[in-house]
Amino acid sequence: MTFLMGPALLFCPADRPERYQKAAERSDAVIVDLEDAVAPADKQRARGAILAQLGATGDVPELDPSRTIIRINPAGTDEFEKDLHCLKHTPYRHVMLAKAENPGQLKALEGYSVIALCETAAGILNAAAIAAEPNVVGLMWGAEDLLASLGGTSSRNDDGGYRAVALHARSTVLLAAGAFGKEAIDSVYVNIPDLEGLAAESRDAVASGFGSKACIHPNQVAVVRGAYAPAESDVAAAKELLEAAAAAGSGVFQFNGKMIDGPILKHAESTLRRAVH
């Protein structure tokens, strides 16, 4: 299974069905959230909202199943079981497992395309084993839940940058996803008005190798898309370089006064892939 959504994934509370379509229209994929965005007392109503928008026949959903992810509650909880019961009656087969901590939890999600959200110490330490599971298509990391699980108070320093432990978690999830050919999704940027900070973090996500970034507000989507969209000059340069590589027919060659090898060509291929989104 391959993850084909992104680069801007937008969370939407499952108990706010009036926002479903708006979220889908403004993003590359919508994450309908049954976990943190919904109060415990409202979770059953949220599941009912997902079912209600399917229509009488249950096969014509308001949301496109190919661009919809349902974030479900952590494995081993009563809410998790109720979420799965709900999903069985829908066409939605892309799920995000909150607080994924070990590969055994993925067994209950056979038949689903899973984004494992690693946001606890156990989840980070087991990221590679989780990524190896065949029904996992991507890994995402969560900063605030991680720090909370450690007894910390904030994932960021006063200057807005991540603390060392958060950076370690971010890198661990990225490397685990890359090692098994899965999508790496960067965490949300919670300071909604700070679009400049979001842009900088999104550019770093692109440069580091994250394939997508999650958003918590519609205004963040354009910023994330802007970071992932390569400039026309970069696209032209990448095409020229790859054409030169094809003409050279060798592993290493000279182009515009520089020595070109495999990694540089992969950078060019990545640029062209981002250009098609």
Is residue 185 a contact partner of residue 213, using CB atoms and an 8 Å limit? yes
Instruction: Indicate the Cα dihedral angle 144, 81, 184, 136, nearest 10°.
Output: 150
pLDDT of residue 230: 72
List, run by run, the mean pLDDT of 10-residue segments along the chain (277 residues): 87 96 96 97 97 71 93 98 96 97 96 98 98 98 95 93 96 98 97 97 96 97 93 64 68 72 67 63
pLDDT of residue 273: 67
Please write the tens of the pLDDT for every residue from 32-41: 999 999 999 9
Secondary-structure percent of the chain, ordered helix, strand, coil, rounded to 5: 50, 15, 35
Residue 139, token pair as written in the block: 């890994």
Residue 170, token pair as written in the block: 């971010």
pLDDT of residue 254: 74
pLDDT of residue 54: 83
Residue type, 25: E
Q: Which helix (H) or strand (E) holds 115?
A: strand 113-118
pLDDT of residue 243: 66
pLDDT of residue 183: 97
pLDDT of residue 61: 78
pTM of the model: 0.86
Please write the tens of the pLDDT for every residue from 128-176: 999 999 999 999 999 999 999 999 999 999 998 999 999 999 999 999 9
